[in-house]
Structure 1
Amino acid sequence: MTVFVLVPEAHTGGWVWEDVAGRLRESGAGAHPVTLTGMAGSRRPAGPGTDLETHVEDVLRVVDGAGSRDAADVVLVGHGYGIHPVLAAADRRPGRIARVVHLDAGLPRDGDPPLKLVPDQDLRARLSAETARGDDEWGIAPPTPGAWDRWGSTSGVPAGALARLAADAAPQPAGTLTAPLRLSGAAAALPTTGVLCTGNGTSIAAVEGLVGLGHPELQALTDPRVTFFELATGHWPMLSTPGELAGVLLKAAAGEGHRITATGEPPAHLRPFLLDVPERPRERFGRTDLYLPEPADGGGARPAVVFVHGGPVPAGARPTPRDWPAFAGYGRLAAARGAVGATVDHRLHELGDFPRAAEDLAEAVEVVRADPRVDADRVALWFFSAGGLLSADWLAAPPRWLRCVAATYPVLAPLPNWGLNASRFRPAAAAAVHGAGALPIVLTRVGRERTEIAATVEEFLSAAKDAGADVEVVDLPDGTHGFETTDHGGEARRAVERAMRTVLGHLRG
């Protein structure tokens, strides 16, 4: 018999699992929703001493009870914050656990406090500062009724369930978020399943992309004992799609699911650029590389295009983005067309790094404009993927020398689980509130984009239209994210050529 131990997200209790637990029991499995200390329905009130260890003990009591009956296979399911007490409990009872399921949850490591994975970055900053000061706040108020998306997208949650989510929420003991997770490694070999909620901004394709970047901690995801499922809903599938979630949990317990395999071939981002571009001289200035055109007859400064990569890219990834074939290819292509091409290694290593990446970009732009071979009054910025969020500052207040902004398969609004909803990094809002005026915008849109990213592009285009912005869309109907190194077909090559020709035309016009 399989028994599921269901551990909820922060501020919530076992009640959120009622529908899923009922469906699991109807299938013949056991189901034990856990209400952690201090949450609504718990017989154990929280206090200043309640911390992560308290919640680990809560889970262990249920595991010990469930695992002792009929030699049951215990599947531990952790939703969001709940993955932390789940992993610690599995670490102490590895012999009783058949599988660990990360339900729209991250991959915390030994020593990480749960706060590190809290999506609400304002809360992360506040609690981190209070912990550093030694403040004694112990209860973190739950979100207000309209702000639950700060913990993850509420897409698909019925109004009644959303109202109950707010009504039954309880303060989260601060120690459960700030105390470090302690893992000995005893459960490292347990089978694991990730259930990804695409409406919250994640997907199997996104995970495979991160694995391809070479982050050593993610290479374990290629282990055949690790499987994945997707649910087309927001962060609360037990409330929005309980039937589908129950079905996925049963399949996970049976060892089913998508597996990420290591093919031995170069990852997509390290494959050759789709155009055969001649080599050009490259000069390195700190985090910025310049690709230089052939000397003009009689000299003269040239316009420049600054190419801005996406991310997050792990700090230890090698090669770094400016040495990836796509960005080197774009830099050489700009130089071959008579402009200075500039590539930048900005430090967007984690989702909280957008402010630092913005500073790196501003610094790189000044390096480019200060070069005597560059016409400082004719510069374009070209953003890719999640680097698109960095365009917001420039769209909101374009400097006079910025002649064009380009974006290729961009992310143009933060995804729900990024915790950036109230931040300045919202290009759609910049276009809607400030407008880009006469600043030309060249946007390459791929038809086979991830749904959650495509929605941000459409949001931006709608806002830009309302603001009267000058946007030219280069459509690639069969294109995918990162197509420059995965598709060498004629349509893809023509899309790159058209976008480059248009950008350079604005620089020279």
Structure 2
Amino acid sequence: MPTPDHPMILIPGAQHGGWCWRKTLGPLRARGYAPYAVTLTGLGERAHLLAPDVDLDTHITDVLQMIEAEELTGVSLVGHSYGGMVAAGVTARLRHPAVRRLIYLDSPVPVDGDSIISVTPFGEQLPRMRTVVDGVGVLPPGEAAAMGVHGDDAAWVQRRLSPHPYATVTTPLHLPDGWNDGVEQVYIRCVTGHDEDHGPWADMSRVDTSAGWRSFELRSGHDAMIDEPVKLVELLDEVCATEEVVA
């Protein structure tokens, strides 16, 4: 079977599963993309696989295995929040041309050696939030409302959130020299009317437009795929339809 022309892998953030992309899948297919919503080990419908050794490398392997199983090339990786760390790790393992584009969606922008604890502004709070479930260190589910979802969506998200394996936020990410050569880099920042200057990843200094990065703002809550799925799909289509030339 031939590889789809526009494969797009959607990687969820902490505590989320592939379920969070539900509202975007049909619209993406209607625009000619082949979206794959990943659920990372220990989360969502794979919560029964939670174990002490589930870490960032496990989650990177989850995505690598999907790409291998589906025989995908020229992939656009969309990493939401924590998923941006996973997307960067996958890019470093596969590189161009297997990965065409790396899209950070309201995510940290890591460099070699970073972990979630070191790269996020609230990282120092995470050790205090750690708890243990069935012998496994986890971060307990947060409040859905803080993720920018409302009404019925907030209730749905709240009941779907999973304890997040703690080892994933302490694992350092290995990004060797040249890890993103030839891969288009895109950043989408989610903002509301109250936080233009104070988004979840307020330090945007690593988004380097002089090096060919493209940067966009999307008016939505942090969980854009739930809060503003139509706008997000339109923006992803704009990003992918106007590919930049990458050296």
What is the TM-score of this pair, normalised by structure 1?
0.42
How many Å apart are 1:104 and its aligned residue? Answer: 0.6
| Partner in structure 2 of residue 82 of structure 1 | 83
Q: Which string of whole-angstrom CA distances, capped at 9 and with x for unpartnered residues, describes residues 158-206 of structure 1?
A: 3111111110111110100111111113432211110111228357xxx
Mark the runs of 5 or more structure 2 residues left unpaired by the alignment: none
**Aligned to 2:233, which of 246, 250, 256?**
246
| Partner in structure 1 of residue 101 of structure 2 | 99
Matched residues in 2 for 1:99 and 1:77: separation? 8
Which protein shows a greater Rg?
Answer: 1
Q: Which string of whole-angstrom CA distances, capped at 9 and with x for unpartnered residues, describes residues 43-88 of structure 1?
A: 761111111111111111122234x25xx42100000000111111
| Partner in structure 2 of residue 38 of structure 1 | 42
| Partner in structure 2 of residue 192 of structure 1 | 185
How many Å apart are 1:125 and its aligned residue? Answer: 5.1
Q: How does 1:305-316 map to 2 (within 5 A)?
A: none
How many Å apart are 1:219 and its aligned residue? Answer: 7.4
| Partner in structure 2 of residue 61 of structure 1 | 65
Matched residues in 2 for 1:61 and 1:81: separation? 19
How many Å apart are 1:124 and its aligned residue? Answer: 2.7
Matched, 1:221 2:225: no
**Aligned to 1:116, which of 96, 115, 118?**
118
SS of residue in 1 equivalent to 2:83: helix
Matched, 1:5 2:12: no
Q: How does 1:460-479 map to 2 (within 5 A)?
A: none
Matched residues in 2 for 1:194 and 1:210: separation? 9
Are the structure 2 counterparts of residues 142 and 120 from structure 1 closer, same or farther at C-alpha, using a change threshold of 3 Å?
Answer: farther
**Aligned to 1:181, which of 173, 179, 186?**
173
Are the structure 2 counterparts of residues 100 and 111 from structure 1 closer, same or farther at C-alpha, using a change threshold of 3 Å?
Answer: same
Matched residues in 2 for 1:86 and 1:233: separation? 22
How many Å apart are 1:117 and its aligned residue? Answer: 3.7
Contact 1:6 1:34 in 2 (8 A): yes
How many Å apart are 1:220 and its aligned residue? Answer: 3.6
Q: Which string of whole-angstrom CA distances, capped at 9 and with x for unpartnered residues, describes residues 393-440 of structure 1?
A: xxxxxxxxxxxxxxxxxxxxxxxxxxxxxxxxxxxxxxxxxxxxxxxx
**How many corresponding residue pairs?**
230
Matched residues in 1 for 2:204 and 2:31: separation? 35
Give 2:160's aligned amino acid. Answer: D
| Partner in structure 2 of residue 377 of structure 1 | none
Q: How does 1:49-448 map to 2 (within 5 A)?
A: 49-66=53-70, 68-69=71-72, 72-94=73-95, 95-118=97-120, 120=122, 123-124=125-126, 126=128, 138-144=137-143, 148-149=145-146, 153-154=147-148, 157-189=149-181, 190-199=183-192, 201-202=195-196, 218=206, 220-224=208-212, 226-255=213-242
Give 1:104's aligned amino acid. Answer: D
Give 1:140's aligned amino acid. Answer: L
Give 2:155's aligned amino acid. Answer: A
Q: Which string of whole-angstrom CA distances, capped at 9 and with x for unpartnered residues, describes residues 311-362 of structure 1?
A: xxxxxxxxxxxxxxxxxxxxxxxxxxxxxxxxxxxxxxxxxxxxxxxxxxxx
SS of residue in 2 equivalent to 1:41: helix
Matched residues in 2 for 1:44 and 1:187: separation? 33
What is the TM-score of this pair, normalised by structure 2?
0.83
Matched residues in 2 for 1:23 and 1:73: separation? 20
Coordinate RMSD, CA, aligned: 2.6
Matched residues in 1 for 2:170 and 2:207: separation? 27
